[in-house]
Structures are given as structure tokens and as C-alpha cells.
Amino acid sequence: MSAVKNFNVVRWEEKSKTNRIEKIKEKLNKFLDNEIPYLKQPPNNDKKTNEDHLKSISEETLEERIQNILKNIEQIEMKLDKLK
């Protein structure tokens, strides 16, 4: 009998936590005055490691990304120099 009681208590606690999280999300949405769809979606439990992510991206794409980042840094530095 106590196992059933403990199970019910655990379920009630989980439901209570879920309700509190939903209330916090609603308050956040009201505060931001905007519905943010990703807050309503369940978390993505993608367990890929960094190596797996890197393997899925081709080497050319990585090089292009690095070049774009370097180009952006140069542009920011130029803008900062102009502001001085």
C-alpha cells in the first residue's frame, strides 16, 4: 500500500513541477509581450558529441565559416577604428 502511496506522491510532485514551469513560461511570455514558440517546445535531447557534429559538417563548410568569422572580425575592427 505504501508503494502505491509513494508512487502517487511522486506523480503529484512531477505534475506540480510541470505546472510551475508552465506558469513561469506564461509569465515570461507576458513579460516579453510576445509568444516565444521555442519555449513551448520540448527540449531537444540531441546527445551528439562535438566530434559527431563536426563530422556531419564538411571541411569546406568549416573553412567557409572560419573565413566568414574572420571577415566579420575585420569589419568590426574597421568600424571601431572609424569611431575612434
Q: What is the pLDDT of residues 60-84, one digit of tens each?
A: 677 888 888 899 999 988 888 888 7
**Does residue 13 share a domain with residue 31?**
yes
**Does residue 38 share a domain with residue 1?**
yes
Could you identify the residue written with the cell 566568414? 68
What's this model's pTM, rounded to 2 decimal places?
Answer: 0.33
10-50 pLDDT tens trace: 788 888 888 888 888 888 777 766 655 555 555 555 565 66
Q: Into how many domains does the chain fold?
A: 2
Hey, which bits of 1-84 come out as E strands? Answer: none
Which three-class secondary structure state does DSSP give residue 58? coil
Domain that holds residue 74: 50-84
**Does residue 54 share a domain with residue 39?**
no
**Does residue 29 share a domain with residue 3?**
yes
C-alpha distance across the termini of the chain, in Å: 75
